[in-house]
Amino acid sequence: MEKFRELGLEGEILKGVADLGFETPSPVQEKVIPVILGEENDLVALAQTGTGKTAAFGLPLLQKLNVAENEVQVLILSPTRELCVQIGNDLKNYSKYRPDIRITCVYGGTDIRRQIRELERGVHVLVATPGRLCDLIKREAVNIEAVKAVVLDEADEMLNMGFKEDLNFILDATPRERNTYLFSATMPREVERIARNYLHSPQEIAVGKKNQGADTVRHQYYQVKAKDFYETLHRVIDCAPDMYAIIFTRTKIDARDIAHKLQKDGIDCDALHGDLSQAQRDEVMARFRSKRLKVLVATDVAARGLDVDNLTHVINYNLPEDVESYTHRSGRTGRAGKEGISVAIINSKEKSKLRRIEGILKKQFEYKEVPGGEEVCRAQLLYYADKILAAEQKETLTPYQQELFDKFEELSKEELIQKIVSYEFGRLLKKYAGVEDLNLSEAEIKGFPSDKKKGGRERESEGQFTVFSVNVGRQDDFSPRDLMTIINKYAPQKGLEIGGIRIFDNVTKFEVDVTGIEGFGNYFRNVNFNGLPFMVRETGERPGSLRKGGERSGKRNSTANNKWKGERRRSEGSSRGRFGEKKKGVDNGRRSGKKH
């Protein structure tokens, strides 16, 4: 506690800190608290989530309040409802011995009339999400013209979520002489623009470097075939019985599908995505925070602003498109000085993206082999054994002890252990007996095919492809390149292997390896081609039939830029151009490959 006193905290605020068990300030608290308590400086603080930022700005700002002034003096903006509520609760805990301080949170997804009534009673500290605050300002339900300090928490996330205009509107409504404190895990150009336009000669503090991950996080990756992603994920989870993790996916369909599969495989999990109502979202998060859920499967958008302590792992089922997103994902573990693990599951085509992330973060990613059946079973059995050893003897069992002893008296110690393990883990042991080795060969890891046949084409199993049809064809000027462009744009994984393609007058059939992808056709529900809905359906036909003497045969990659011979076999008199093109002299405004 002495160290917090040395930073300038005093009185009832210091007493509140002591009650929370804080002993030593975190690095960000050590640097930020004296700045806010001291001269009237603006501040840019670069710090990961989970480093103690709320206390770093909350404690000194609470101490500086003049409760005699019945108006909003401190405005704290956060990207999401969850973070807004968390900050509000933390501030109330810090000021538990200052009942004269009034703190209110306002956010969307709840009754605005109740929030207006709270504001009418008077507020010293207002914690808000940008969208709801803009609404309240426009209704003249809140006045922020006397604000002395503005905190922008997780500024990069607020901008990622599209709050740029809202932030401009809010900051323009505050006094020019206010102090502004900007906290961000990363520093993209938009955050720098906010700092340049709204902060005056800010002092800069960094805990870590720009776009660099926390030192308490280990980065690991598993490199497998795309079809083995789910099985790899399942084994990684099973091999860490004490895991408490968030799994990140690229789309909400993936989040739903993976959560459903894990539930079927007996893992306590649920999905968090944009289709959930606020009540459903709150219910999922309550179960996750109470650890009734072992893992949470989420999209980046749905997980923004979540503040969950003690995560052991973050798993990237799909690598994000930018380093900032990876930094935010991995920063959810390894908090408060504890170690965490960030896992990436990648295929060979994503290796270069992984190396770019490594270079920017200046972190080495450790290659890990996918656990085999024996490794998974050993981890589960030893975890179970440790739990038995740690269990306290219950006096309530005393009346039944002798009967139990009599039941098992003919068994040796070894026999009893074997029977307990067989009873508890029989299904697991059977499931993992003789499972396939999912690890790539050394040549495959380096990007070389493991086996080629004459002519340089990879050996391929006919069974890995599924045949689909789509309701456009030759009369619609539909080409193989159009097909591959659309698949590459809207499929959940890039670089899917495409087999045979047969284009008929009004329909096209094609083969694609969709192993590991549930509901492939659903990803194209909002796509239009030449004004027609692009309806992809599984045909049930045997793979390979399209490539036996067909006009479009052979395996190819959806990202390839192939030049097709005879590609444009148009009906006589056709005046329409290819997907995304205009034929000279023809009005082609109807053709669209965009989502509507």
pLDDT band at 547 (very low <50, low <70, confident <90, very high): low
Q: Which of 285, 325, 348 is nearest to 86 (CA)?
A: 285
The yes-or-no verdict on residue 191 having pLDDT over 70 is yes
Instruction: Give the Cα separation of 578 and 479 in Å (integer).
Output: 7
The yes-or-no verdict on residue 549 having pLDDT over 80 is no
What is the four-CA torsion angle of 485, 490, 493, 494, rounded to 10 degrees?
A: 30
Model confidence over 277-286: pLDDT tens digits? Answer: 888 988 999 9
- Can you tell me the mean pLDDT for 579-583? 36
Q: Higher confidence at residue 121 or residue 495?
A: 121
Contact criterion met (CB below 8 Å) for 466 and 511: yes
The yes-or-no verdict on residue 496 having pLDDT over 50 is yes
Fold of 2-206: Rossmann fold (3.40.50)
**Cα–Cα–Cα angle for 190, 51, 40, nearest 5°?**
65
For residue 503, list its beta bridge partners.
508
- Can you tell me the mean pLDDT for 243-265? 92
- Can you tell me the mean pLDDT for 198-211? 78
Contact criterion met (CB below 8 Å) for 375 and 231: no
351 φψ region: left (φ > 0), alpha (ψ -120 to 50), beta (else): alpha
DSSP state at residue 458:
B
Contact criterion met (CB below 8 Å) for 530 and 477: yes
pLDDT band at 38 (very low <50, low <70, confident <90, very high): confident
What pLDDT does 131 receive? 94
Alpha helices in 265-350 (DSSP H): 278-289, 300-303, 323-330
What pLDDT does 588 receive? 32
Model confidence over 386-426: pLDDT tens digits? Answer: 888 888 777 777 888 888 888 888 888 888 888 887 887 77
Q: Higher confidence at residue 141 or residue 215?
A: 141
For residue 330, list its beta bridge partners.
none
Helix 189-198 with 164-172: angle, nearest 10 deg: 10
By mean pLDDT, which of 378-392, 529-543, 555-569 is the weakest?
A: 555-569
Q: Which of 331, 272, 274, 314 is nearest to 297 (CA)?
A: 272
pLDDT band at 110 (very low <50, low <70, confident <90, very high): confident
Supply 461's token pair: 């199993």
The yes-or-no verdict on residue 228 having pLDDT over 50 is yes
Domains 2-206 and 217-372 share a fold: yes
Taking the CB of residue 240, how many other CB atoms lie within 10 A of it? 20
Instruction: Give the Cα separation of 593 and 533 in Å (integer).
Output: 10
- Can you tell me the mean pLDDT for 288-304? 88
The phi and psi torsions of 105 (rounded to 5 degrees) equal -110, 135
Does pTM top 0.75 for this prediction? no
What pLDDT does 435 receive? 82
The phi and psi torsions of 493 (rounded to 5 degrees) equal -125, 140
Q: Higher confidence at residue 457 or residue 120?
A: 120
The yes-or-no verdict on residue 359 having pLDDT over 60 is yes
Helix 53-64 with 81-94: angle, nearest 10 deg: 50
**Domain coordinates of the chain in residue numbers?**
2-206, 217-372, 374-431, 457-557
By mean pLDDT, which of 310-319, 383-392, 552-561 is the weakest?
A: 552-561
By mean pLDDT, which of 30-39, 113-122, 163-172 is the weakest?
A: 30-39
**Across the chain, what does the average pLDDT equal?**
82
By mean pLDDT, which of 182-186, 192-196, 368-372, 452-456 is the weakest?
A: 452-456
What pLDDT does 168 receive? 93
What is the four-CA torsion angle of 79, 80, 86, 91, rounded to 10 degrees?
A: 40
- Can you tell me the mean pLDDT for 175-203? 89
Most confidently modeled of 76-90, 457-471, 518-532? Answer: 76-90
Half-sphere exposure of 259 (CA within 13 A, CB side): 24
**Identity of the amino acid at 306:** L
Contact criterion met (CB below 8 Å) for 3 and 24: yes
CA distances from 511 to 26, 94, 497, 527, 532 (A): 56, 61, 9, 19, 21
**Looking at domain 457-557, what is its CATH homologous superfamily?**
RRM (RNA recognition motif) domain (3.30.70.330)
- Can you tell me the mean pLDDT for 107-129? 93
The yes-or-no verdict on residue 568 having pLDDT over 80 is no
Q: Which of 237, 392, 242, 384 is nearest to 315 (CA)?
A: 237
What pLDDT does 116 receive? 95
The yes-or-no verdict on residue 475 having pLDDT over 80 is yes
Supply 451's token pair: 């086996």
Q: Higher confidence at residue 420 or residue 182?
A: 182
For residue 246, list its beta bridge partners.
296, 314
**Identity of the amino acid at 237:** I
Q: Which of 145, 199, 125, 194 is nearest to 165 (CA)?
A: 194
Q: Which of 28, 66, 56, 54 is nearest to 148 (CA)?
A: 66
Q: Higher confidence at residue 291 or residue 307?
A: 291
Residue in the structure block whose two tokens are 């395996």: 555
- Can you tell me the mean pLDDT for 109-122? 92
**Identity of the amino acid at 40:** E
CATH class of 217-372: alpha beta
The yes-or-no verdict on residue 578 having pLDDT over 60 is no
Percent over 70 (pLDDT), the chain: 86
Q: What is the DSSP string of 349-381?
A: GGHHHHHHHHHHHT-PPEE-PPP-HHHHHHHHH
What pLDDT does 577 receive? 34
